[in-house]
Structure 1
Amino acid sequence: MTVLITGATAGIGAACARRFALHGARLVLVGRRAHRLDTLAHELGKLVPIHTLELDIRNRSAVQQELAELPAEFATLDVLVNNAGIALGLEPAQRSDLDDWVATVETNIMGLLYCTHAILPGMVARNKGHIINLGSVAGSYPYPGGHVYCGTKAFVHQFSLAMRADLLGTKVHVTSIEPGKVQSELAQVRFKGNAARAAAVYADTEPMTPDDIADVIHWCVTRPAHANINSIELMPVDQAFNPLAVHRARI
């Protein structure tokens, strides 16, 4: 099995790399931080063949070129894990930075599309493959300040289901993985390095770990070939649903 993982340098991506390596998969690791890619490749290269790509998935032409020119040993991709994603800011929509909105859409939607478009035709031609898209419970349950991030994850869910409809009659699988609170670098990115605000997200709770999500992803990929897991939504037991908010004006 050959697995390409985007956003492989931290969090769920790195956990997926370790999980698949333990089970003998060849890995194509994609990320923007070369030093982290090198460190991960050094660690996992003792177990399996590794190819790294220092690549910003928002760069359409670079994605197309790099994925078209993979070394022969890694060119036949069995699994694509579209993991790379960001969340920026938690201000109300009316006070948000437009650049944050654009960066979120370019990463969570356009980057996912560029990678999928480059890899899916080969899977269809071979009549074999599995695309894992990282969504979020935010795609189903909005929250204040979520606006664009929630929208991008709703896109991931619906795009995954619609792609499965297109792939009917093939042996290509598509799964949307939709976690709740996972302790990772996402909070630090969202708050632009503010460690105190990031830590507050997880304070006095037991969130899921990247390893938890990697375990679920590996399970989906290793189901019998005749079964497709459409989507999985999972949360820590410390997280649940709130009643709808109601604003009561004082008269």
Structure 2
Amino acid sequence: MKRIIKITGIIMMIFVLSCEANDPLSFYGGGELVERIEEAWSVFRDGYFDSSLAIFDSTLIDAESIMLEDPNANLIRSTFGDIHTGIGWCNLRLLHAETAREHFIISQGYELYSFGTSVGLMTAYYELGTVFPINSTVVDSAIQIGHWIFSSGMPEEFEYNQSINVDDVRLLMAKCYYAKGDLSNNITEERGALYWILELNDGYYGYLDENDSYTWNLYNNGEQDYDSFEEATLMIILELEKEVFPA
């Protein structure tokens, strides 16, 4: 009987260890790290970006320490990805686009198909490319990421902050093409500021016509409210930024 009990105990221990190995919250240091990541995102959503960044930074230090102490520690890759993505978004909000870009690139090394990371990297490239003078090559990098987001089949919103979603990507695409001076509605190539404006608002501004000055307005009122099609496009983008939480 004692032998049976002993064998049963061993089996139960193996079962528990097996469950822990498959539970992302039970890996060495994992539960606490995941809780701190959640806390950092909560602080981020409340708008305290400096405080959120401090939590992410300290969490990254602790995660790296765990790996140094025990290289075999079962730290899942997505945890490092989430931390670097958080640091990236905090730096974006604090207007440190270069630092943000670096962390988003690191995060992609852990999680390639992360929506939040991809939108963050796209935003960083846009910010870096639109500092005067415009760097079209850098803006093109943002555009390429935008097209990739839509073609990759990844989720349409960021799990840690649902206000960051595909509408942000569409708005960014419109802003990128505007920055490059491409105001077109190129349906075939999915290119041009007007194309992405129409994608963003279900075609409401479909009345706009570069060759008809009486369409250069916000309300399809048959009047020329702006001096150029470019100015009208810019004003529409600014109007859309009020409706879409800009990334």
The two structures share one fold, judged by TM-score above 0.5: no
Could you tell me the TM-score, scaled by structure 2's length? 0.28
- Larger relative helix fraction: 2
Could you tell me the TM-score, scaled by structure 1's length? 0.28
